[in-house]
Chains A and B, each alone.
Chain A
């Protein structure tokens, strides 16, 4: 069964460093998403991406964040200058259509020291 994959599974970085989290969505899906879950809190929407542009973003998704689909298979989330409060589990998801079910990857745990 096709699935969303994410790498790395755990990333440790120093405050102020840039990180790139990578995702490979399900191959025939056209819509891509990033969510995050800070320890002990709810899963929160960050951004959705379709047709090579951001279709919706939350207040959390400020200028420190960017997304990109650099080739036909990868979807990345970049955090330019990490802060302690960026420590969280980051989930990538994809869906075939706008109204279709979103399938999630296993997550990348980001730890900012």
Chain B
């Protein structure tokens, strides 16, 4: 069945780049998303990429998609302490309404 996997934890120093990785199994995935969840808050959409794209850049965020390996990554440049949160990867097939989420990667930014 469909599955999305992420590493659970990442710790970086403030000012460094962070790279959060995600793999998925559904080859019919059309849309891939990154959501951010701060403590006690909901899921905030960060960025998304269509499956016919390899890369998308949005200010400090760069999304890379390797469709052959079903691998998605989120790079945050110049990571700040305010970036500390849980980051969720999610995928959606065009034939379905539902998002399938990974378990989330907890990013800790050390001063």
Chain A residues in the interface with B (C-beta under 8 A): 4, 6, 31, 33, 35, 41-45, 48, 50, 55-56, 58, 91, 93, 98-99, 101-107
Contact = CB atoms under 8 A, between A and B. Distances in A.
Interface residues of B, number: 22
Q: What does DSSP make chain A's interface, helix, strand, loop or mixed?
A: strand
B43 A104 contact: yes
Contacts, number: 51
Name the prevailing secondary structure of the B interface residues: strand
Contact of A48 (B31, B44, B45, B98): B98
A111 to B, nearest CB: 15
Contacts of B12: none
Nearest to B45: A101
A29 B49 CA distance: 21
B97 A42 contact: no
